[in-house]
Chains A and B, each alone.
Chain A
């Protein structure tokens, strides 16, 4: 059961049910004490509604816009030191070096220096120095796989770049 004060506040706010409203209407008309309390709350309600809003400093809007501009200016800087990009670049270079190394290992003529045990002749390494050569590209599955991987990697980074551009535009 609500207190009289609570009922009256609900009545003033217009949140009481039609039955409650009717009952309160009757009480206000017939009960002097009830009416007095109602008038007191009504006056209080008008006073509460007169609460003044605080005034922010004159340069408030300017300061907010400056803060927004500063944050926006920091976005490209953040992107330039994005660890994922650095990791990605490291991965690409590591893959290229590893690929060349593995390719070199497979093409080394290990028997070339075996008959001269005392000498320090370098093994005969055959590297595809005449790249790009269509014949080599067609005939070497390793190179094809390498180029395929590079293309996929490139597309992946291009997609990530486009996504970032779109996100920046939405901000």
Chain B
């Protein structure tokens, strides 16, 4: 069972030497951190590696957390930096992941085709569509809708201006809408 204590109280207990408090903090944020990592990694193993790395980094620099922003905002900025570093490393080993077609190909020949049997609600397709977006777009969408972060908080997490985030969010929504329409059209064809 998760603790009812606030993030700040758990941080204070962790700094006082109570490791169980940090385990509670992990349990509270792990789903979102893992989801954010998935937006970059596209495989559960890599996402787990990124998420684990983030929590270890956060633990090591917990004493430097100034409490001027929410703990989640601070944590998500660590996720973003770690995931970007991960992507840069991956870029050296593999082909350019900037190419949107690569994502489309992976999805179309991978999970989407394999999951035709489990055609579900529109939520299923929204999740499929977001997994086809570029990491930056998917991250902004996820932070805004799932992370309950304001534009200012997202800007702090990503190290951008709030206005830039606003524009990027608009474009990300447009792309997500397009992907969703494409997927639904594809689904309709399959049914016919």
Contacts and interface: CB of A to CB of B under 8 A. Distances in A.
B112 interface: no
Contacts of A10: 166
B141 A170 contact: no
9 contacts: A9-B169, A47-B126, A50-B126, A51-B126, A51-B142, A56-B34, A57-B48, A65-B22, A68-B22
A56 B32 CA distance: 9
A61 B30 contact: yes
* Residue in A6, A57, A68, A69 whose Cβ sees the most chain B Cβ within 10 Å: A68
SS class of chain A's interface: helix, strand, loop or mixed? helix
SS class of chain B's interface: helix, strand, loop or mixed? helix
Interface of A: 5-6, 9-10, 13, 15, 44, 47-57, 60-61, 63-65, 67-69, 71, 169-171
Nearest to A67: B56
Contact of A60 (B52, B127, B142, B146): B52
A64 B20 CA distance: 12
Contact of A71 (B27, B60, B141, B174): B60
Closest 8 A-B residue pairs measured CB to CB? Answer: A56-B34, A54-B35, A53-B31, A64-B55, A53-B35, A61-B26, A170-B63, A50-B123
B64 to A, nearest CB: 10
Given A15-B151, A68-B59, A71-B60, A48 B173 contact: yes
Given A51-B141, A53-B35, A54-B34, A64 B60 contact: no
B145 A49 contact: yes
A47 B123 contact: yes
A63 B54 CA distance: 13
Given A51-B141, A61-B23, 8 more contacts: A15-B166, A44-B180, A54-B31, A57-B44, A60-B48, A63-B48, A64-B26, A65-B22
A63 B35 CA distance: 17
A171 B58 CA distance: 11
A170 B15 contact: yes
A53 B138 CA distance: 12
A9 B170 contact: yes
Contacts of B31: 53-56
Contacts of B56: 64, 67-68, 71
Given A48-B141, A51-B141, A68-B56, A60 B34 contact: yes
A63 B52 contact: yes
B145 A51 contact: yes
B107 to A, nearest CB: 16
A68 B141 contact: no
Contacts of B177: 44
B51 A60 contact: yes
Interface string B14-26: 0101010011001
A53 B60 contact: no
* Residue in A50, A51, A63, A170 whose Cβ sees the most chain B Cβ within 10 Å: A51
